[in-house]
Chain A
């Protein structure tokens, strides 16, 4: 049962990811991106991580892609403009993609990406959110703070960029 759902979501994820880069219309790409994120959220649920799923939807679908769309719509990027940028990048991109696929395939096949399963039972995972919260504020508190600092800097940077100089 779970397997079936996994494949459905996985295929949908990959398909929408491909759609993101292959569709000509930037709005359509953004929509595909949203679909992709949604599928990822669904995968999180299959991984017994509803909190992550909710946050994924919340942040990425609900905010990030909306802002993407926003930008795309307001800037009114047509198909033609994309053509200009992609023109010379094609061979380089091809090389990069092939390299990336090779490295990924290699590491996956080698089994070097295997992560250690946590020692959580099915029952304990019901309290998934709690566990995650605790981990974040205990074991991973440092990276967490670093990330929040980073975000703060980004925030301030954005404000500085956007603010008009007062005379």
Chain B
């Protein structure tokens, strides 16, 4: 193996570690932001006591979670109970192997071109959806292994919900794939550069408005956020599938949820909002626009969370099967017709 290959491999390892670290630490600011957003939307201040403006609150929470007693129910399936958080977490992280954060940048000192993605798969979107789908195992097993009726119901609800909405999610992506003519995310982003008529960004949202709506709704359901956070319905299920979890195992689930939220935002940006493409004559800054757009979507998720009430379970299912699924098929049909 020559030196270049070694550098490539090293670079990939560095990127993997870098991305993982970011993902691991991401919930720390995100929880803080979420609580702040919640506070302000409810005309409160949110966390304020730990650190300036409560900025250290998530750290305090983290420390608390680390040192809490790790309790497993006596009649729980011990192995599955322990592995369920991992089942949930690993796919959520694995998804990032295929996600591009930008095109290429040149690192100034060593004057080396570095791609801002771990790998460019030609089936990237499929990979993401497939691997993302595995996350459901964590939830379903966590619910089952707890040997608790609330957890089991939460788990079952969750898996049913995820399977249902995964279909709509995938179908909504197909429209994008059809317009972009590629399964690779890099290609999809590249397709969206430029403008239409000189002032409208050439983003998929223009071609696929229905697709985006479906994608967005399905993503909300897929990542279990309000208004579709039925699995952890406090009112009727105590806390859903992770009711028996505590300490670090519980925090893994939380981590998974936050990472999933980021993934959903990232996908929305890449598929429909041009990825790192700067909007409208704005200067091209590596990663910045990408992060900004993702940040907006994350904020949107939080915003929605504190705006809408939770759906009823039967409503959730009927939306998924009776509205989103036919609509997404229709979308594919229309897209196909346009392409012809």
Asked if A and B touch directly (CB within 8 angstroms), the answer is yes
What residues make up the interface of A, taking CB atoms closer than 8 Å to B?
A: 25, 27-28, 31, 34, 50-51, 53-55, 57-58, 61-63, 66-67, 69-70, 73-74, 126-129
Interface size on B, residues (CB 8 A): 26
Interface of A is mostly: helix
Q: How far is the CB of A9 from chain B (nearest CB, A)?
A: 16
What residues make up the interface of B, taking CB atoms closer than 8 Å to A?
A: 77, 80, 121-123, 126-127, 129-131, 133-134, 136-137, 140-141, 144, 152, 155-156, 159-160, 163, 166, 170, 183
Query: Assuming A31-B80, A61-B134, A62-B134, is B123 touching A54 (CB within 8 A)?
Result: yes
**Does the CB pair B144–A58 fall under 8 Å?**
no
**Does the CB pair A66–B183 fall under 8 Å?**
no
Complex Cα–Cα for A90 and B237 (A): 43
A-B contact pairs, 13 of them (CB 8 A): A57-B133, A58-B130, A58-B170, A61-B133, A61-B134, A66-B159, A69-B141, A69-B144, A70-B160, A73-B140, A73-B155, A128-B122, A129-B123
Interface of B is mostly: helix
Complex Cα–Cα for A155 and B134 (A): 24
**Does the CB pair B156–A73 fall under 8 Å?**
yes
**Does the CB pair B141–A31 fall under 8 Å?**
yes
In order of increasing CB-CB distance, the 5 nearest A-B pairs are: A62-B133, A54-B126, A57-B130, A58-B130, A50-B123
**Does the CB pair B156–A70 fall under 8 Å?**
yes
Complex Cα–Cα for A127 and B187 (A): 13
* Interfacial chain B residues near A128, Cβ < 8 Å: 122
Write the chain B residue with the least CB distance to A1.
B1
Complex Cα–Cα for A106 and B92 (A): 44
Complex Cα–Cα for A73 and B129 (A): 25
**Does the CB pair A63–B183 fall under 8 Å?**
no
Complex Cα–Cα for A70 and B141 (A): 10
Q: How far is the CB of A133 from chain B (nearest CB, A)?
A: 10
Query: Assuming A51-B126, A128-B122, is B136 touching A62 (CB within 8 A)?
Result: yes
Write the chain B residue with the least CB distance to A126.
B122
**Does the CB pair A50–B77 fall under 8 Å?**
no
* Interfacial chain B residues near A61, Cβ < 8 Å: 130, 133-134
**Does the CB pair B80–A62 fall under 8 Å?**
no
